Structure 1
Amino acid sequence: MTRTLTILGATGSIGRSTAEVVLAHREELRVEAVVGGRDAEALAKVAIRLGARFAALADERGGPALKEALAGSGIGSGAGISAVTEAAERDADVVLAAISGTAGLRPTRAALRAGRRIALANKESLVCAGEAFMAEARRLGAEIMPVDSEHNALDQALAAGRIGDVEKVTITATGGPFRTWSRERIARASVAEASAHPVWSMGSKINIDSATLMNKGLELIEAHHLFGLGADRLDVLVHPEAIVHGLVQWTDGAVTAGLALPDMKVPIANALRHRERLAMALPRLDLASIGRLSFEEADETRFPCLALARAALRAGGAMPTVLNAANEIAVAAFMGGRIGFYAISEKVETVCSIFSGRNLTAPATIAEALAIDEEAREAARRLVPA
């Protein structure tokens, strides 16, 4: 059965991998709409390549360029918030939500609809507004399928039993570029060194989050909302080979694991069709040739951002929203050469401390989440050099 698909974030790394999955399965997947950020030419190329019916650019100023690039294709287009919302709401069986940052909150919320599957790759929907987002998805009867390799692996592994029989769920981390570095050496790290992820090809901000291990902390918060597990049943394990993506330990001592080669097309294909697997012409996992899989405890002394994220998860309420906002400002300051590597965690900790005494409840709506997000960002901006 052919399923229709809308891709929010079609020009990013997840969007590009999704395009490869679609092109390999034109009989099973048809693209309704694609959404991009500012690059009209790149979005037009994706829309034409995938045969989309509609293309929307978030940057309203790029509307004329997008329309011109699509001239003669028969593909409708628009630009600005209203066009992005239209794309998210168009009739489709699956919406791949991969717009990064808080910019993806509103379009992802707009995509929620009864019976629709959301293939979720926008962390902020769960980190910033997890309770509100998941409650709305349940109310509407929308299915949420994780695209992150770790959460997708866990979703598959959790099918082996009942959630009440889960003792612990573990997501893995490569350890980033500084896995073997001393704290003293990490403190002197350059932006280029922090951006050099050893396995995955991702955006620059996510690369820095992987270097600080904040990315794994945010993924713990995501797992809490996706699977309904408390902080005491969520853990991180460093696994440099990136073959084991998630593990589920059951109360009887058994462990179910999700393994795959590190290729985002694997979890994307699973999220798009879920239990109906798509045959993918990808290299197969050959454990004999790999020979050895290694695992280490995550070091929260050298990587304090992970500890901060755990603390935010335990605190609950609006603290994950505050954590994420402060981290985005601090990472941008580091990437701009205005602060050092460990100043990222220092600024995040300071902002979280400022908000901790207020006992803010979890945002009940996307609007509330965005308001708290902006307040936390402003607090972080005051802590970093202009």
Structure 2
Amino acid sequence: MKKYIYLLLSAVALIMTACGEETIGQTPLENIAPGQVYDVNVENVPGGANITYKLPKDADLLYVKAEYQLKDGGEWLNTRASLYTDTLKLEGFGDTEEHRVRLISVDRSQNESEPVLVTINPKTPPVFAIFETLELKEDFGGIRYTWENETMANICLHILKKNKAGEYTAMDDLYTKRKQGEGQYLGLPALESDFAVYITDRWDNASDTLKATLTPIFEMQIPYSDIKPYNMLGDTPSEYSWLVDYLFDDKYAPGSGAGYHTETFSGPWPHRITFKVMTGKVKCSRIKIWHRDQYYYRHGNVKKFELLGANDPDPNGGEEGWTSIGIFDSYKPSGLPGTSTTNEDMEYIEQGENFSIPADVESYQYYRMKFLESWSGSKFVHLMEIQLFGCPENYVPEYPDEEEEEFKP
């Protein structure tokens, strides 16, 4: 009996040893190298190249790879394309110099062909082209920066500010691929300061740094306690106990309470609400709205609205006495259709949406919002909160001697 047990254990040990020595992965079937790609063409593009070719006739061809370095002496990278395509897309180059690329066919036995050598000359990398369009200027309560990204490359804009020690320190990073871009950094005192912006991509290519000495234009948030609904004939009734009052209650975080909701069957556009600054006229610099969080870019969330101001409005609710301040469109950075969104879309909308007002607008005590369109095209509209920014008439701001701690309203 012991003899049989010993033989059984020995057999198990041999099996386990054999299993432990097995090669992980596919066992090569043969060692014949596949043919090379041919009729190769190069299309140089910003920061890279698109290489097209014809495939060899090998029945067991698996893929084609390109081996290259982003810079001389750098790490060798490779990009693969399956046998179902005839194009390799190379990107990440940080210059416009010549680069040698090796094109290699690989079969199912992992045999590799002799390389086909091609030369590419990438066009100006996106970070440098975008930098040439970059502008930095003062804004109400902060700074504004704009850029053009024709290739819609994934980039990061780094915003810096010089501190008291004379060193530039990071304030914010904005990751984006917007074609026509605009960013803001708000909540800054109206003090002359040195700011800077530069651009990077995921391959660590970096642009030069744009620097500017700017003085943010004074603005303040008009206190919620100073703003009251001013219901007029022709204003759109609310529904579901979501009242205009809740637009000025400082409750806009997800799940924090109710906002404003028009009647579901409100009739044709536009819908409108009116509110009053109880302390007097305000020269408005921007308005910020917080959308209903369960329905970003859809349902009854506001897509387009008009803001109007008045100091002597028609008591019967008519249009007489009202001046259009501007028509504003809610923005989806990705531009994707329907309810499709990206992380950038969500990050943008979750922070509340700012709408800047031209600097030459007059001061008003009464404000009216006309809702012109919802994201879904439905005939109703809803939103969570409104914040009004600007400067009360005859208000003299106090400018601190030293920099105050910054915040983002």
TM-score, normalised via structure 1 length? 0.24
Select the structure of larger CA radius of gyration: 2
Higher strand share: 2
Higher helix share: 1
TM-score, normalised via structure 2 length? 0.23
